[in-house]
């Protein structure tokens, strides 16, 4: 059992969190939804201020019928980083689907690899699927531009670069699957960390649609001043997190 702090909130504590991060604690994991995607909170580490999350249905990205990396309708994962920023370990990877032959050569043992998909074979097409481990570390923008123009769709997914072993290049299929299954890390909200350090409790003002710091005599924009520390106001959610 642990506490979930801002930006997360439950229906009985709307003022404790950002509206995008309403938590459902009825299942094995605490979950929240963004657009049409559900996410599971796997771990909250209060020592390094990191939160590990993953899509609730990894089958959206790993085809459970044949365990390949080419599901039918994957969606990009978009997190509001102003509220819940990525940790230093998290990078954006990109899947490119339904690609025609590229007009540029893809170097071996690099940041990009072709994926063999049963769906590509079953439809008897010559379309291909590619995985780019991290666009931020990609050396040749010409290849990314070619992928963007030659592929019918692409999906961006945050992954842990340590799990993906991104520095080793040419990741195996097992590495990619592990990275998707084990989730990615986001950092505690910096405004909330400052508020708590000043003795306050983190929350949200629905009128101004901004973060607020609850103090003993009301609320402030960021921190409680001396003599305003909130000793009796709590804005945390007790929840069970089942770790993988």
Query: Six-digit token pair at 233?
Result: 């106001």
Q: Write the secondary structure of the chain as one string of H (helix), E (strand) and C (coil).
A: CEEECCCCECCCCHHHCCHHHEEECCCCCEEEEECCEEEEEEEEECCCCEEEEEECCHHHCCECCCCECCCCCCCCCCCCCCCCCECCCEEEEEEEEEECCCCCCCCCCCCEEEECCHHHHHCCCCCEEEEECCHHHCCCHHHHHHHHHHEEEEEEEEEEHHHHCHHHCCCCHHHHHHHHHHCEEEECCHHHHHHHHCCCEEEEECCCCEEEEEECCEEECCCCCCCCCCCCCCCCEEECCCCC
Give the chain's end-to-end CA distance (angstroms, integer): 15
C-alpha torsion angle, residues 31, 49, 44, 67 (rounded to 10): 70
| Predicted local distance difference test score (pLDDT) of residue 122 | 43
| Predicted local distance difference test score (pLDDT) of residue 13 | 83
Q: Write the secondary structure of 132-143 as one string of H (helix), E (strand) and C (coil).
A: ECCHHHCCCHHH
Output the tens digit of pLDDT for each of the chain's 244 residues. 456 788 998 887 888 889 989 998 767 788 999 878 889 998 888 788 899 999 888 777 766 555 567 777 788 998 889 889 999 999 999 999 889 888 888 877 778 888 877 554 444 456 788 888 876 556 678 888 999 999 998 999 999 988 888 766 667 778 888 888 899 999 988 888 889 889 899 999 989 999 999 998 888 988 998 755 554 455 655 544 443 3
Neighbours of 19 (CB within 10 A): 12
The pTM of the full predicted model, rounded to 2 decimals, is: 0.79
Neighbours of 28 (CB within 10 A): 9
| Predicted local distance difference test score (pLDDT) of residue 242 | 40
């Amino acid at each position: 059992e642990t506490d979930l702090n801002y930006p997360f909130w439950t229906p009985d504590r709307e003022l404790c969190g950002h509206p995008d991060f309403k938590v459902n604690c009825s299942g094995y994991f605490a979950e929240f939804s963004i657009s049409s995607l559900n996410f599971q909170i796997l771990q909250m580490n209060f020592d390094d201020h990191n939160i590990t999350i993953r899509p609730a249905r990894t089958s959206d990205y790993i085809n459970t019928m044949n365990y390949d990396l080419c599901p039918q309708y994957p969606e990009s994962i978009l997190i509001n980083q102003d509220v819940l920023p990525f940790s230093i370990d998290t990078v954006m990877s990109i899947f490119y689907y339904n690609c025609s032959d590229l007009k540029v050569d893809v170097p071996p043992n690099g940041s990009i690899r072709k994926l063999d998909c049963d769906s590509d074979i079953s439809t008897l097409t010559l379309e291909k699927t590619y995985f780019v481990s991290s666009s931020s570390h990609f050396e040749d923008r010409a290849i990314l531009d070619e992928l963007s123009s030659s592929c019918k769709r692409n999906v961006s997914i945050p992954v842990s670069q340590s799990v993906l072993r991104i520095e080793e290049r040419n990741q195996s299929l097992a590495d990619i699957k592990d990275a998707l299954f084990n989730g990615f890390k986001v950092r505690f909200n910096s405004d909330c960390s400052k508020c708590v350090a000043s003795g306050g409790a983190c929350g949200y003002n629905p009128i101004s649609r901004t973060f607020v710091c609850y103090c003993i005599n009301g609320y402030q924009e960021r921190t409680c001043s001396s003599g305003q520390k909130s000793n009796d106001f709590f804005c945390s959610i007790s929840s069970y997190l089942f770790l993988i």
